[in-house]
Amino acid sequence: MACCRKVAIALSGGVDSAVAAALLQRRGLNLHGVHLRLSPLAAPPDQVEALAHHLGIPLTVIDLQREFAREVLDYFGSEYARGRTPNPCVRCNAAIKFGHLWDYLKIGGFTHLATGHYARRNPDDDGPPGLFRGVDRRKDQSYFLSRLPLSLLPNLLFPLGQMTKVEVRRIYHEAGLPVRENQRESMELCFIPAGGYQDFLKARRGFSGPPGDFVDTGGRLLGRHRGLESYTVGQRRGLGIPARQPFYVIDLQPELNRVVLGHREELLAPGLTASRMNWLIPPPAGEIEAVAVIRYRHPGVRARITPRGDGEVKVDFETPQSAVAPGQALVLFDRDQVLGGGWIEGRIK
């Protein structure tokens, strides 16, 4: 750690980042707390100030609400309007936490940025920097970090990557850290109030999407939907279409304002296409094999990955997968290592 001359620790106001800060402080690092104001629902600054005071470290509060609104909230609304399923946490990590924040820190002479993510920069200190799953697979957040630039990895510290949530909570209680134990998790939608995302979209846009038709995969009219933003691929509940076999959302067609419904077996796809790949290894020149994860909590499936140029890939699953949703993040793994990530454009039929 001698190389870490000046370390910023991102403090959210929750248990994980507080414990990460305490662990780094025990290592004797030159530590400086930073807190991002991203939305009115975030932890109040005075709570984070109390934590910094308890740790005896300086704190800087950075207001990035305008950047967050432009790059995350606007993206969130526009993706739903296009009939896609956004992943704002993946977007926020790349654009805000490891984008705008890192740009700010570099100007201030910081050499490293630490966070409370459950991920590992390397399983050990040997070899070139890479991104790996956290030891606690139930809390692993490497999926959400898949769009970080490879060049940034040497400057990142993930103190919780080798720990379980149980161990983190034990340290939190033993250290008596002054933070809320029920703080929202970083993979939750921090900007969505209790009403849900449809209410948020309506309030932000000033209107709801117009009603349209439910159709089956053959184009037969089944009923009327409430607006495209109320649905996502794979959804079963809340459709209101009686049938002997339950219907699922198979596809969204914004150009026709239609929601395509079908039965469970019609959700299966042999593969997908993805764009804007961000590689955390040297970009492969040809076909590779990897485990493809198509949404958070998806267990992953072995797949053949074929680069198509311009950041696009074709993914052929070893076994068909259900509910491939355009707009979601595709993340590729080799065992615990993150190879890269892109945005799902559509399923192969």
3 given a catalytic annotation: no
CA 117 to chain centre: 11
Neighbours of 316 (CB within 10 A): 16
Q: Tell me the two tokens of residue 171.
A: 């340290």
Dihedral of CA atoms 219, 223, 227, 229 in degrees, nearest 10, equals: -70
3, 4, 89, 190: which one is catalytic? 190
190 given a catalytic annotation: yes
Radius of gyration for the alpha carbons in the chain, expressed in angstroms and rounded: 21
* CB-count burial class (<10 Å; 0-12, 13-18, 19+) for 55: buried
E strands in 23-181: 31-37, 59-63, 112-114, 119-120, 132-133, 156-157
The CA-atom distances, in angstroms, between 260 and each of 189, 229, 257 are 27, 14, 10
Cβ neighbors of 153 (< 8 A, separation 6 or more) are: 121, 129, 130, 131, 280
The CA-atom distances, in angstroms, between 108 and each of 34, 66, 102, 137, 143 are 12, 21, 10, 35, 29
Query: φ, ψ for residue 51 (rounded to 5)?
Result: -65, -45
Q: Please, are residues 19 and 51 in contact by the beta-carbon 8 Å criterion?
A: no
3, 4, 89, 92: which one is catalytic? 92
Longest dimension (CA), the chain: 67
Query: φ, ψ for residue 259 (rounded to 5)?
Result: -110, 120
Residues assigned a catalytic role? 92, 190
